[in-house]
């Protein structure tokens, strides 16, 4: 697998991990809320039914996230050498934060004081320039 293919796979996995994290957060909120599942159901039963239903779903999401994290760890090792060869500067910092630290572009932009769209462009140009 080429570095470009590895980066593409990492981007896909990071997006999937982000979706799973959002789903997990929503499921945890639902599982712990006190809203009604059905009318005329005792309160204790409602909560335990929710916890059972969403607890299983949350466990499945966590397993899927663990699998993605394991794959990302392997890919991170593959790209580490290529990123270390990039000269010191904002491009290297952005690539390191994205593919070694696995940060979102939004997080990187905030940390480096860039606009989000500018950071997308910086990372894309750095990938083409240094990792093609």
Average pLDDT along the chain, 132 residues, taken 10 residues at a time: 94 96 88 54 58 83 97 95 94 97 96 97 94 84
pLDDT of residue 42: 55
pLDDT of residue 52: 73
So where are the chain's domains?
1-80, 86-132
Q: What is the pLDDT of residues 84-120, one digit of tens each?
A: 999 999 999 999 999 999 999 999 999 999 999 999 9
Burial letters 10-29, b for 16+ CB under 10 A, else e: beebbeebeebeebbeebee
91 C-beta neighbours (distance < 10 Å), count: 19
- CA–CA separation, 111 and 117 (whole Å): 14
- Cα first-last separation, the chain: 13
| Contact between residue 72 and residue 17 where contact means Cβ atoms under 8 Å apart | yes
């Amino acid at each position: 697998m080429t570095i470009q293919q590895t980066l593409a796979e990492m981007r896909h996995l990071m997006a999937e991990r982000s979706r799973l994290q959002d789903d997990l957060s929503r499921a945890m909120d639902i599982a712990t809320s006190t809203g009604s599942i059905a009318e005329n159901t005792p309160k204790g039963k409602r909560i335990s039914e929710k916890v059972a239903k969403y607890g299983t779903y949350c466990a499945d999401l966590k397993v899927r996230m663990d699998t993605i994290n394991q794959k990302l760890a392997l890919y991170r090792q593959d790209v580490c050498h290529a990123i270390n060869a990039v000269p010191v500067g904002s491009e290297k910092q952005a690539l390191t934060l994205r593919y070694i630290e696995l940060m979102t572009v939004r997080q990187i932009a905030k940390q480096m004081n860039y606009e989000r769209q500018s950071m997308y462009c910086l990372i894309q140009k750095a990938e083409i320039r240094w990792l093609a």
